[in-house]
Structure 1
Amino acid sequence: GLPCIVGTGNGTSMLHTGDEVTVSCAEGAEGHVYPGILPFDVERIDAGGVPTTRTKIMLIVGDPTRAFALAAIPNAGVGLARTEFIITNDIGIHPMALAHYPALGDAAALKELAARIGHEDPREFFIRRFSEGVGRIAAAFFPKPVIVRMSDFKTNEYAALVGGREFEPSEENPMLGFRGASRYFDARYAEGFALECAALRRVRLEMGLTNVKVMIPFCRTVDEGRRVLDVMAAHGLRQGEHDLEVYAMCEIPANVVLAEEFLKVFDGYSIGSNDLTQLTLGLDRDSEAVAQLFDERNSAVTWMVAHAIAAAKRIRKPIGICGQAPSDYPEFATWLVQQGIDSIALNPDVAIKTAVLIAQAEREAATSPT
């Protein structure tokens, strides 16, 4: 893909059409824009020489069209398959708009929706495209596990889909609003979640891709988790049936404080360090005013992560991480190994070099005195 830097502040006023610059995303958390075309070296690594590790090195995958190419990278599966890419690029229509078609109040959205789906049944349009996208990722990595996160758009992102404004509330802070698990059994989105469940049921039962595990994002309470599992079961995705495992994102302080209670409901945890950081430090990572304070390596955040790992270990449930931190900070990845995390999901571009560091950290841990 192309390197991209966001949040540059005055970048658009400083740069002009025709300017030659070098955009670098190779320095970690912060990108850099250099004047002129700078020379660079390409380091090639023999994938066959990547060391094996106790910690499972998994990938973060969003674009199904890249899945088969990414599967060539040494990996233990997909630790996070983002369904938002599929909904945005392959579907483009709000699930509730498809569920309620043609009874929409927005005439322009109705016209665009009709043009996109043609003569296909609107619900089948969603189920087919969603299942094809997820199925492509699952097939590329089969039989390795592929953990598919159910949709985790915020309301402003859902509203940007065709027909979305009719079904989404306007919120002051969508990051903390109507998102995640609470949507799935709410009348304002329940029919949309039913379509997601139908698509995953097709992937697992009709396509035979039973390596797919389901992950529930932003689950605020244990009871919320139980209610989501009940809804999934009603739509043919029953936990434990056909070996279906259901994980939860560990990304809210409550998920750490009550980790053992949540893990009695779910089959495993995946730490979402992005949201866990902002909620632990009490900041909005979308706000430029406090963006400089966002750091997953903050001691309060590492305390939360360490306690989540320890809780999962106590009750023998798998726990991994799928946030940005291990991809951005190699030292954070090695620290996770020291804590005994089971798996680390990484951006594909850093998976190999991080695997080398993790192997080294595991060797050092094995030889250090206890």
Structure 2
Amino acid sequence: MPNSELLLGNSLQQRSEGAEHVLLSIGDVIQERMFFHPALIASDLTLSDADQMALDAVVNGQDLNAFYQQVLTETATELELGQYKRVRVQLSHCDSNAFSALIAGSLEECETNPMLGARGVSRFASDFYKPSFALECQFIKNLREQGIDVEVVVPFVRSLSDAAKIIDRLAEQGLPRGLNGLKVLFGADTPSAVLLSERLLKYFDGVCVDLASLTQLTLGLDRNNEAVSMGYNVRNEAVLELLTQVLTQANVARKSSIVLTEGLADNTKLQEFLLEYPQCDIINVD
């Protein structure tokens, strides 16, 4: 078990009694409970026979838009979002590889390196994903209208221009940062975001570090590639140096920080490191 002094929160993957914070990842819900590409809702794509049969089995005749919102709402109810002090909803973090594996995955353009492709802000700002982004925002607005003080987590903010762009896009969708206390956190999934964290925190109310993404992009390797996977190590000195920088910047700015980890119970060194940042919320996502 992870050290009891860590501020562990709940998610789809991990639940524990007494947690004060929770993260609902829309990307995880799409992959694990929805099973179809959200762009299908606004598309006139003719599905293959196999995809059509799979879709019919999933939605059982329901309108796709209604089904999308229903699944997200049921997940929010299951997680009992209203009982937590801090509630975060992460916009979809999926890359083209993950989306292409879904029903109607043919809607995705093939990318040579999905890890470095259309993710986060670059996807949300695209014409292709705009209707899907609107659906994600509508879900968040629905929760806030129910009185749940949801904070928005934006994955893969790579630059200052990304920051300005997503703040504008959220406002266009009826989620202006600061209105009725709305907080927006940026995803420090890349070294560039960490190096710019002091300046990015002027646009945002906190930071969320996906440690798996940051590790792979810092070390320049794909942990799913057997030829280099042995080099994957979240405790690598370069990774911990970057993690130190971003968490320290959040503390100095008096803004919230979250770290998304995997296998934390078996990683004593990482636990010891995170204990040095007692204000940091931890989500174990495996």
Same fold (TM over 0.5): yes
Determine if the alignment matches structure 1 residue 82 to structure 2 residue 82: no
* Residue equivalent to 1:92: 35
Structure 2 residue 111 is the aligned partner of structure 1 residue 161: no
1:127 maps to which residue?
Answer: 69
Query: What secondary structure, in the 3-state scheme, does the structure 1 residue paired with 2:282 have?
Result: strand
User: What's the CA shift for 1:262?
Assistant: 1.0
8 Å Cα contact 1:62/1:83 also seen in 2 = no
- Write out per-residue CA displacement over residues 182-224 of structure 1, whole angstroms, 9 at most, x where no aligned residue: 100101111111111111111221x3222x2110111111211
Q: How far does residue 170 in structure 1 lie from its aligned partner after superposition?
A: 1.0
On the 8 A contact 1:327/1:347 being kept in 2, the answer is no
Q: Which residue is 1:191 aligned to?
A: 131
Residue aligning to 2:212: 274
**Could you say which residue in structure 1 is the equivalent of 2:122?**
182
SS in 2 for 1:322: strand
Letter in 1 for 2:148: L
Quick check: which has more Rg, 1 or 2? 1
Q: Distance in 2 between matches of 1:269 and 1:200?
A: 18
Query: Residues of 1 paired with 2:132 and 2:167: CA distance?
Result: 16
Residue 83 of structure 2, aligned match among 106, 117, 142: 142
1:99 and 1:122 in contact (8 A); partners too: no
Deviation at 1:118, TM superposition (A): 4.9
Q: Distance in 1 between matches of 2:284 and 2:195?
A: 28
1:31 equivalent in structure 2: none
TM-score, L = length of structure 2: 0.89
SS of the residue corresponding to residue 321 of structure 1 reads: strand
Letter in 2 for 1:175: M
CA deviations over 1:109-163 (Å, ceiling 9, x no partner): 45654564455433222122223323432x2562421222111112121112111
Shift of 1:313: 2.4
Report sequence identity in percent: 29
The answer to whether the 8 A contact 1:128-1:199 is kept is no
Measure the CA separation in 2 of the matches of 1:348 and 1:219.
20
Larger deviation, residues 115-124 vs 280-289: 115-124
Matched, 1:345 2:264: no
Which one-letter code corresponds to 2:180 in the other structure?
H
Q: Within 1, Cα distance between the matches of 2:111 and 2:238? A: 28
Q: SS of the residue aligned with 2:258?
A: strand
Preserved contact between residue 186 and residue 208 of structure 2 (Cα < 8 Å): yes
Letter of the 1:169 partner, please give it: E
List structure 1 segments (4+ residues) > 3 angstroms apart after TM superposition: 109-121, 325-328, 346-349
Asked if the contact 1:58–1:343 (Cα under 8 Å) also holds between the matched residues in 2, the reply is: no
Structure 1 residues 239 and 131: CA distance shift in structure 2, 3 A? farther
Once residues 10 and 83 of structure 2 are traced to their aligned partners in structure 1, the CA distance between those partners, rounded to angstroms, is 15
Alignment of 1:1-370 (within 5 A): 53=5, 57-62=7-12, 70-71=15-16, 73-78=17-22, 80-100=23-43, 103-108=44-49, 109-110=51-52, 112-113=54-55, 116-118=58-60, 120-137=62-79, 139-140=80-81, 142-165=83-106, 167-205=107-145, 207-210=146-149, 212-324=150-262, 326-338=264-276, 340-347=277-284
Alignment deviations for residues 62-82 of structure 1 (CA, whole Å, 9 cap, x no partner): 25xx8xxx35x232212x332
Give the aligned length: 285
- Could you tell me whether the CA contact under 8 Å between 1:250 and 1:271 is conserved in 2? yes
Q: Name the structure, 1 or 2, with higher relative contact order (CA <8 Å, separation 6+).
A: 2
Instruction: Name the CA shift for 1:319/1:325 in 2 (closer, same or farther; >3 Å).
Output: farther
Query: Structure 1 regions of 5+ residues with no counterpart?
Result: 1-25, 29-49, 350-370
Query: What's the CA shift for 1:169?
Result: 1.1
- The 2-side partners of 1:172 and 1:155 are apart by 10
Rounded to whole Å, the distance in 2 between the matches of 1:169 and 1:60 is 34
3-state secondary structure, aligned to 1:218: coil
Query: Quick one: distance in 2 between partners of 1:77 and 1:111?
Result: 39
Q: CA deviation at 1:326?
A: 4.0
Q: Distance in 1 between matches of 2:280 and 2:169?
A: 28
